[in-house]
Structure 1
């Protein structure tokens, strides 16, 4: 057995136990989602100057958790009268990033898909963060109210994700039965949250995803989870509370809720979203799934992989 086969087998057999029982996490999320569904989205669309021929470009704003206005691009290709409505790809950004410029999504428009590309609250985009801080935090965003599952940044982010999918589904130009959640790194974790928490999702693309096997990630990751490690270095007595709260947002514990087909990718040299964390979540999925391994890649994806993503979505959308 060569080293590649051995490593692949180790990853396929890696199955850490959930850190929270299914009944507790389902009760929490069912109650949380029911309460959130009663809050208005208050969607606004502002037409933008055309950039692409035959593509409508709008700035779309919806109310996220706690009333924070979440900014997004809504891009939809023109269709001849009487033609089928297009599917919609909801795009989530990497950590510290934003939705960027509309041309970032040209490939999806060329495929005939609508796009809703959203900011992550408080990060590099136009979107702020109205979530009150109960106490201090370390640098970045993810340690805000870390110890409370009812008030944490991760809760706000997760509910913003759910409401993004709802906002997409309410746009009259799209086929609301064909909505995919797509992202990489933090965006991949957000896409998996969408699959776990929104029944409207038809397919999930989660490249090199975050939010998987969070307890392991806090110990080893060089990415956003290192902010939690920094916080706990200063407050070692809070470790138990932090792990208890984080368990409600860990894809390892939420995997059973994901029903839509999932595509994931993993770089074996990734020190941000490590292969052990990605496989810990992937191995718990019971839905239709596929994972692409890249033994020589770090925290990155390639053009060749993006072609696989396109094919996956075409198949998922019945094209």
Structure 2
């Protein structure tokens, strides 16, 4: 079998090399408390895009640190309530995408919520000094500050807050809310289900934001992880702070959130992935204690995985 990483047998027992902060659980318990104290000030604005069988809205809410967060929301018409819902997350520096690619679920009677990550390619704010976007560099945002200032902390909390909004919507069945996404979206799917354990099912695809030290050791701090190399070159050129930096990154390392997941997991990985190396993904999967199933694509990298979108839909429809 071709490989850019460990053998499959090694991957199946791999537990990661990045350090886990000693106060990791207290850190996230404190973060969740901050999120729950925020008045979300939810606003629904009808979109100019509409279809006969669903209503389309721009949904806005206030997240931690005062940022106004945007998501697309599609509510099916003429279906029984409460009905199931999906929360979706996008890739790094991207956005929630077009309306049309979400309508299949609306046609099946699902509400659909698709987040714009703060400061990336959509309409959610990054309030780190100015309103608007920063697009990327988000892994290293806050590394020279207190861990509570890490930007991905806030983004992870946005995912859980959106899931909570979906779960608490009167038209939604709180027992049938699911999460999905690929790459950064896969990471946020993991984070969402960990921080909002009422997520019933989740389907992450080749998740990003895991086992940063392993990425570094494989000399793959490029492409999506390029900012790790940039940070060291500018702020720690002799790597005197390497252990400190990787430990701080541990707060936003999804492998350490994985054990909090309670929902059933359908996970996809391509063994030729050089963007998010397979070992970093297995470090997450191997820590999930909930019911789970892994779909392996031996010849595929960070790209469309044929058939997995269909598997995902069938997985959600099984409830």
TM-score, length of structure 1 as denominator length: 0.89
**Aligned match of 2:73:** 74
Residue 93 of structure 1: CA displacement? 0.8
Residue 185 of structure 1: CA displacement? 0.2
Q: 5+ unaligned residues in a row in structure 1: which ranges? A: none
Within 1, Cα distance between the matches of 2:221 and 2:274?
Answer: 6
**Aligned match of 1:290:** 293
User: Which one is further off, 89-98 or 255-264?
Assistant: 255-264
Residue 145 of structure 1: CA displacement? 1.3
Residue 257 of structure 1: CA displacement? 1.0
Within 1, Cα distance between the matches of 2:170 and 2:93?
Answer: 31
Within 2, Cα distance between the matches of 1:250 and 1:141?
Answer: 13
Within 2, Cα distance between the matches of 1:251 and 1:166?
Answer: 19
Q: 5+ unaligned residues in a row in structure 2: which ranges? A: none
Report whether the alignment pairs 1:308 with 2:315.
Answer: no
Structure 2 contact 41–62 (Cα < 8 Å) conserved: yes
Q: Tell me the secondary structure at the aligned position of residue 177 of structure 1.
A: strand
**Aligned match of 1:144:** 141
Q: Tell me the secondary structure at the aligned position of residue 174 of structure 2.
A: coil
Residue 12 of structure 1: CA displacement? 0.9
User: Which one is further off, 209-218 or 190-199?
Assistant: 209-218
Residue 298 of structure 1: CA displacement? 1.1
Matching residue within 190, 193, 197 for 2:191:
193
Q: Tell me the secondary structure at the aligned position of residue 87 of structure 1.
A: strand
Structure 1 contact 146–153 (Cα < 8 Å) conserved: no
Structure (1/2) with the larger helix percentage: 1
In the alignment of these two chains, the number of paired residues is 308
Deviations 1:103-141 (A, max 9, x none): 1212222322110011011111122200249xxx99633
Within 1, Cα distance between the matches of 2:2 and 2:30?
Answer: 46
Within 1, Cα distance between the matches of 2:194 and 2:117?
Answer: 18
**Aligned match of 1:248:** 251
Higher RCO (CA 8 Å, separation ≥ 6 residues): 2
Residue 18 of structure 1: CA displacement? 6.5
RMSD of aligned alpha carbons: 2.2
Q: Tell me the secondary structure at the aligned position of residue 7 of structure 2.
A: helix
**Aligned match of 1:88:** 85
User: Which one is further off, 300-309 or 255-264?
Assistant: 300-309
